Amino acid sequence: MTPRQRAWFFAVAAAGLVACYLWAFTGLPGFGNYPGPYGQEILRRAVGETHATGVVSTVNFLYRGFDTVGEEFILFAAAAGMSVLLRKLRAERETGPADEADSRTIPATSSAVRIPALLLVGPTVVIGWWLASHAQTNPSGGFQGGVILATAFILVYLSGEFFTFRKLSPVVLVDAVEALGAGGFAAVGLAAVVMNLPFLYNYLPLGQFPGAISSSGTIALISFFVGLEVAAAFVLIVGELLEQTLLRSA
């Protein structure tokens, strides 16, 4: 099929898609008039039942916690799949970081990049942990916090070079943290089953009052494990991709 034929084929298909889509619109409730009772019911009871003021986190880690376990394992499986796909092949060897074209001079990383990047590492870790540990109160949680935590490691790469990044995040350690995060979530859920309660039931004390850091029972604990898992998965993914630049086919 030539590119031109493809474009025509697409134009016809897209026209059909848009037509069906616009037709489907006519049956939707208007913007701002969502009638679904499920969300409103959760809004009505979530804070009283869990003492967590962040209802989105409550939905993620409690009411629909089962979905989130699956979602977390999608990330886990993707990171594992990447490690397998990007492994060192038999015909490849790892080279040093030196450039192979002798005639090319690579300028060293400018201080204007290095110093701000290093200065940002500390605050980034603090913000990441703050987000991962406040799922129960504010718009935050393990997923958001974990990604920001991983950014701290990428700032190290930006400010120095790949080998510092790799020394800071040895694959064995990152793998272990990722497994701990993913397993911890599942273990919190299974502990409820052992206690003869439904999977992921909120069995921990809910704390004194809604909005306190110590409130919400299992929601905060699960968010912590998710933060570990997400941070480790992203460090692993970025590390795997960066490592590719060192591989040469022999």
Partner 1 sequence: MGIFPFLVVAWIVVVGLYGIVTSRDLIHQIVCLIVVQSSTYVLLLGVGYVTGGAAPYFFDIPLHTKAVDPIVQALALTDVVVEAAVTALLLSFAVQAYKRFGTLDPLELTQFKG
Binding site for partner 1 (CB under 8 A): 3, 6-7, 10, 14, 17-18, 21-22, 25, 28, 30-34, 36, 38-40, 42-44, 46-47, 53-56, 58-60, 64, 67-68, 71, 74-75, 77-79, 81-82, 85-86, 89, 137-139, 141, 143, 147, 210-211, 230, 233-234, 237, 240-241, 244, 249
Q: Nearer Cβ to partner 1, position 156 or 239?
A: 239
Q: Give the shortest CB-118-to-partner 1 separation in angstroms.
A: 26
Q: Nearer Cβ to partner 1, position 50 or 159?
A: 50
Q: Nearer Cβ to partner 1, position 73 or 199?
A: 73
Those residues with Cβ within 8 angstroms of residue 200's Cβ, 6 or more apart along the chain or in another chain: 62, 65, 66, 69, 188, 189, 192, 218
Residue 32 main-chain phi, psi, to 5 deg: 90, 0
Letter string b/e over residues 43-80, b meaning 16 or more CB atoms within 10 A of that residue's CB: eeebbeebbbbbbebbbbbbbebeebbeebeebbeebe
Selection from 90, 226, 215, 39 nearest residue 150 by Cα = 226
Q: Give the shortest CB-60-to-partner 1 separation in angstroms.
A: 5
Q: Nearer Cβ to partner 1, position 87 or 167?
A: 87
| Burial class of 240 by CB neighbour count within 10 A (0 to 12, 13 to 18, 19+) | middle
| CB-based contact 228:181 (threshold 8 Å) | yes
Q: Nearer Cβ to partner 1, position 59 or 127?
A: 59
Q: Nearer Cβ to partner 1, position 158 or 230?
A: 230
Q: Give the shortest CB-4-to-partner 1 separation in angstroms.
A: 10
| CB-based contact 223:213 (threshold 8 Å) | no
Q: Give the shortest CB-69-to-partner 1 separation in angstroms.
A: 11
Q: Nearer Cβ to partner 1, position 5 or 110?
A: 5
Those residues with Cβ within 8 angstroms of residue 53's Cβ, 6 or more apart along the chain or in another chain: 47, 136, 137, 138, 210, 211
166: amino acid identity, one letter: R
Rounded Cα gap, residues 174 and 146, in angstroms: 13
Rounded Cα gap, residues 11 and 59, in angstroms: 40
